[in-house]
């Protein structure tokens, strides 16, 4: 049976970079955030989000992600409401994806809020990617062209690294790419034995 290895980390930790390193080794990787973005373009999800957040959340009949972010990252209950719409759809999509990868020993499921949603309970092992907060903020500002306060809002809506590390089987400190690559290779050696 194919094992599920969870891969998580706070915003800007570099978990997608790490996911791509696993892909480079031929490991199938499911990137939950990318799939969630695609699912948010489906009519079913658009209707549910519109019902929950109102017509003003739409621009040209599509979900305006910036408007939605400004609402959910300032109010925990609104974020929870959005997660209740998106996460079941992502879970269903992942289960279907997994059926197409049932001949490999393990797959990686990359998800930003793996612990927050309880997704880690469906994983055989969990890898958490960490980096110093200032570096994470810097990376996100560069990547998303956002400001420090909006990055901090998103950080504050996620579990702390310390809390994630306690529940993780492996921890990758992603500061230096060369060292990160070595850590990925070391973890792969262990995973190939499970």
- Residue 31, domain CATH: 3.40.50.300
Known binding residue 10? Answer is no
pLDDT (0 to 100) of residue 131:
96
pLDDT (0 to 100) of residue 90:
93
Residue-range definition of the domain harbouring residue 9: 3-189
Known binding residue 16? Answer is yes
Known binding residue 13? Answer is yes
CA quadruple 166, 170, 172, 173: dihedral sign:
positive
Q: How many domains does the chain have?
A: 1
Domain for residue 125, yes or no?
yes
Spans of the chain, pLDDT less than 50: none
pLDDT (0 to 100) of residue 110:
96
Known binding residue 55? Answer is no
The β-bridge relationship of strands 58-59 and 62-63 is antiparallel
* Terminal Cα distance for the chain, rounded: 11
Task: Please report, for the chain, how many H helices and E strands are present, in that order.
Answer: 9, 7
Q: What is the mean pLDDT of the chain?
A: 93
Known binding residue 12? Answer is yes
């Amino acid at each position: 049976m194919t094992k599920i290895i969870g891969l998580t980390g706070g915003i800007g930790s570099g978990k997608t970079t790490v996911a791509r390193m696993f892909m480079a080794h031929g490991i199938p990787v499911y990137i939950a955030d990318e799939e969630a973005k695609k699912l948010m373009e489906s009519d079913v999800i658009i209707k549910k989000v519109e019902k929950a957040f109102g017509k003003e959340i739409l621009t040209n009949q599509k979900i305006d992600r910036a408007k939605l972010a400004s609402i959910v990252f300032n109010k925990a209950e609104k974020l929870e409401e959005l997660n209740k719409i998106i996460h079941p759809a992502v879970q269903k999509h992942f289960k279907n994806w997994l059926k197409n990868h049932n001949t490999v020993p393990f797959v990686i499921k990359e998800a930003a809020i793996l612990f927050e949603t309880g997704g880690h309970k469906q994983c055989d092992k969990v890898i958490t990617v960490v980096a110093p907060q200032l570096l994470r903020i810097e990376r996100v500002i560069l990547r998303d062209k956002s400001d420090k306060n909006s990055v901090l809002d998103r950080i504050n809506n996620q579990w702390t690294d310390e809390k994630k590390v306690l529940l993780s089987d492996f921890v990758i400190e992603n500061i230096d790419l060369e060292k990160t690559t070595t850590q990925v290779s070391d973890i792969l050696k262990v995973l190939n034995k499970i």
